[in-house]
A and B are shown apart, each in its own frame.
Chain A
Amino acid sequence: MMLSLLTIITGYWFDIRDLSNLSRKIEELIGDAGGPDWLIFVVSGLLGAIGIISFIGGVAVINIWVERRVVGRMQSRLGPNRLGPFGLLQPVADAIKLMQKEVLQPATASGLIFTLAPIMFTVPGIWLTAVLPWGRNMTLASLDSGVLFLLAASSLGALAVFMAGYSSNNKYALFGSMRVIAMLVSYEIPIVMALLGVVLFTGTMDLGGIVLFQEKYRVFMVMLQPLPFFIYFISVSAELNRTPADIAEAESEIVGGYHTEYSGMKFGLFYAAELINAVVVSAIISTLFLGGWWMYKLDELVPGWMIYIGKIYGVYFLFVWTRGTLPRFRIDQLLAFAWKWMTPMAILNLVLVAAEVLIWEESGWSAGLLLPAYIVINNALAVVTIYGFMTLLAPKFQRFPARLRFYPTIDVPSLPAVAAVDAAGGGPRAS
């Protein structure tokens, strides 16, 4: 609608499928008017940033509703349905409630760090949205090392969590943040190696380039690399502190973990940051594994960014699904899982991918011949690896299911004194 308004006003035709032509038009205008080069960058950057941040802000609000409603339906109850039709105004109510709450800060908490921690937790998530390819030419910052940027921004989250837990001056909060840092640091390695498999295959770290690779060879990366998808999905659930790995905010154990002492909008920021991070991670999975804005020529009919947002919400639904279903692991089980299962699987996958890429480069066989073969091999090996790990590493009790004995009658042992009384014919058992 905005674009049609712009069309009417300016007389140029803006194609909704590629929003970058808006910024190119602005470039032309400013360039023709003789403005300095940096002004073009600033203006188009600002436009893109405003668009993306408003989308992310909307997402943070909508996802509150999505999560609660979907989890409610999974628990055979309705979820929020009082405020607005279908409870759609629930996030608004939540936001207003958080904003008008008194911001209680414990007197012994260090003020600056206490305030800075939620900000430092939210901001890297928003940074990550800059490198996502929303369409064919629609990346705000087309970095050559896009994938590394993703990893760098997520590693800053660990520091923010520690700051939050430490500055609260609260034993429970400190527990929570120590657990979180151990987990975040352990799960960074499988994440890096899983993404490295994808990067090796596509030959570029640029996220737009990865989508173009998938478009060029008409294949979703998830078909070519199922094991990294599996590893990345699980490891990033742990990084996001979502169940089954939400030991950091285990409500039933340490009440709140690192955000126990936060109230009001600071807690709101933590909550919003978790949702934003979840959406950004879903976006990363859609880009790297599910083809991003490309969908077998569908993007000529439907704008690419709509397909992309659809995929984001599909993956987000997977996250909400696992959260509503699974119990949580203990911290040592989680760490064992990261080091003993995820990391070896990721290394195995890396070796395999390197071999495959080498064969591809050196032998000169065409992609049409090799890629289907790779799909079959990779999938088979993923199944074999997971199955092998399960049988070899799983705790023994999983192979022997629980058994109970059933007793229709029981022997009641009788004490000697009672036996004597019974023999003499008295006592309560005598009828």
Chain B
Amino acid sequence: MRPAAGPAHHDGEQSLIDDTGIVVAFYILAATTVVCALMVAFVRELIQAVLFLALTFVGVAGIYIVLSADFVAVVQVLIYAGAVAVLMTFAVMLTPAADRRNSETPFWGPALILSGLVLAVIVFVAYDTTWHLDKGRGAFPATAASLGEAFLKPYVVPFEVASVLLMTAMIGAIVLTKEDEGDADA
């Protein structure tokens, strides 16, 4: 199966992305991710939904690895599956047990239409973009180093702004949960 045939596609050369192993891996990972994402929406128990979400994150990390972005993949697991999923489980735990079901809602029609539209847009953009394909089996580029350079040279201002934003969020969380005696529960 060949990926998107855009105008700048180089054919005739055996590029990395056509390797059988990579294709197989991509399809397995993509299938897992999509199935887990669907289960998030369809299971009844909220805790199971959160756990399927964690699995979706891990699947996405796998797709990053297929694209040889190892740093991004690892950071995805570390932050999303390791921290965001835990945060969501805590949030679910603090909801009363009665509200903890993925119940029927009348909004499934509009939601389906909206997600269909989003899907159509993404597919169109994916077909329309000129993707640069990697020729041959080169060494893995050092993603961490290049990301670091990008953060500190062209994109330093957004980086600092994001840090300030995170600090504000942390301070806000502490202020919100601070009790009178000054001890907050786990």
Name A's B-contacting residues (CB within 8 A). Answer: 36-38, 41-42, 110, 112-113, 116, 143-145, 148-149, 151-153, 155-156, 158-159, 162-163, 166, 178-179, 181-182, 185, 205, 331-332, 335
Contacts and interface: CB of A to CB of B under 8 A. Distances in A.
A36 B24 CA distance: 14
A32 B88 CA distance: 52
A160 to B, nearest CB: 10
Nearest to B24: A38
A159 B82 contact: yes
A38 B77 CA distance: 25
Contacts of A143: 70, 74
Nearest to B65: A143
A162 B75 contact: no
Given A145-B70, A148-B78, A163-B51, A205 B86 contact: no
B48 interface: yes
A181 B86 contact: yes
B78 A110 contact: no
A332 B142 CA distance: 41
B181 interface: no
Contact of B82 (A37, A42, A155, A166): A155
Contact of A166 (B75, B81, B93, B183): B93
A170 B15 CA distance: 55
Interface in B86-108: 86, 89-90, 93
9 A-B pairs closest in CB distance: A155-B82, A38-B21, A182-B186, A152-B78, A152-B77, A148-B74, A145-B71, A152-B74, A149-B74
B29 to A, nearest CB: 16
Nearest to B87: A185
Given A38-B22, A152-B77, 13 more contacts: A36-B20, A110-B45, A110-B47, A144-B144, A152-B78, A152-B81, A152-B82, A153-B77, A155-B77, A159-B54, A159-B85, A185-B83, A205-B144
Size range of the chain B interface in the assembly = 20 to 34
A179 B186 contact: yes
Contacts of B45: 110
Q: Do most interface residues of chain B lie in helix, strand or loop, or is the interface mixed?
A: helix
B33 to A, nearest CB: 17
Interface of B: 19-22, 45, 47-48, 51, 54, 70-71, 74-75, 77-78, 81-83, 85-86, 89-90, 93, 137, 140, 142-144, 183, 186
25 contacts: A37-B19, A37-B21, A38-B21, A112-B48, A113-B48, A113-B51, A116-B51, A144-B70, A144-B71, A144-B142, A145-B144, A148-B144, A149-B74, A151-B74, A152-B74, A152-B81, A153-B77, A155-B82, A156-B81, A159-B51, A159-B81, A159-B85, A166-B89, A166-B93, A185-B83
B137 A37 contact: yes
B46 to A, nearest CB: 11
A36 B137 CA distance: 13
Contacts of A331: 186
Contacts of B186: 178-179, 181-182, 331, 335
Among A113, A116, A148, chain B packs the most CB atoms within 10 A around the CB of: A148
Contacts of B81: 152, 155-156, 159
Contacts of A158: 82, 86
B164 to A, nearest CB: 18
A112 B89 CA distance: 16
Among B21, B77, B140, chain A packs the most CB atoms within 10 A around the CB of: B77
A143 B140 CA distance: 9
Contacts of B77: 152-153, 155-156
A254 to B, nearest CB: 14
B154 to A, nearest CB: 21
A129 to B, nearest CB: 16
A233 B142 CA distance: 29
Contacts of A116: 51
Nearest to B76: A152
Nearest to A42: B21
B54 to A, nearest CB: 6
A212 to B, nearest CB: 16
B140 A159 contact: no
Contacts of A144: 70-71, 140, 142-144
A272 B47 CA distance: 26
A116 B143 CA distance: 33
A214 to B, nearest CB: 20
A110 to B, nearest CB: 7
A178 B185 CA distance: 10
B89 A162 contact: yes
A151 B85 CA distance: 16
Nearest to B20: A38
A113 B48 CA distance: 8
A159 B80 CA distance: 11
A325 B82 CA distance: 32
A155 B78 contact: yes
Contacts of B70: 143-145
A215 to B, nearest CB: 21
Nearest to A153: B77
